[in-house]
Amino acid sequence: GNSVTQMEGPVTLSEEAFLTINCTYTATGYPSLFWYVQYPGEGLQLLLKATKADDKGSNKGFEATYRKETTSFHLEKGSVQVSDSAVYFCALLISSGSARQLTFGSGTQLTVLP
């Protein structure tokens, strides 16, 4: 079956530190990969995506590269801000037959301290 494994949190960093949140996946077929972010008290928001191998998704200073050889989609940011404090979810989507639902990782809580 399809699954997503995320780096366990919580992660606490100082402002301007470098961030990596690891994500690996298992999938049959060729998934699209996503990072969603959930700020406190809000719903999930799409942060970035990649639909094929070697694609790089980027948004708001965050980046992730679709690595088929290592089945990974690690999230990185060079300099985090306090406003980046949120829960980050890695997810995959396989579009085959009638199956269309996103499969999510367990989420990683990030706290950035001033």
Structure tokens at 99: 């199956």
Nearer to other proteins, 57 or 84 (CB): 57
* 76 beta partners: 20, 63
The one segment of 12-20, 46-54, 61-69, 72-80 that binds other proteins by CB under 8 A: 46-54
**35 DSSP 8-state letter:** E
Q: Which of 53, 82, 99, 113 binds other proteins (CB under 8 A)?
A: 99
Q: Which residue has the tokens 């366990």?
A: 8
Tell me which residue of 18, 23, 19 sits closest to 7, measured CA to CA: 23
By the rule CB under 8 A, 95 interacts with other proteins: yes
Phi, psi for 83 (deg, rounded to 5): -70, -10
- The overall longest dimension of the chain from CA atoms, in Å, is 48
By the rule CB under 8 A, 93 interacts with other proteins: yes
Structure tokens at 34: 């996503």
The one segment of 7-15, 17-25, 78-86, 98-106 that binds other proteins by CB under 8 A: 98-106
By the rule CB under 8 A, 1 interacts with other proteins: no
Structure tokens at 10: 């919580």
The one segment of 11-19, 21-29, 67-75, 102-110 that binds other proteins by CB under 8 A: 102-110
By the rule CB under 8 A, 108 interacts with other proteins: no
By the rule CB under 8 A, 103 interacts with other proteins: yes
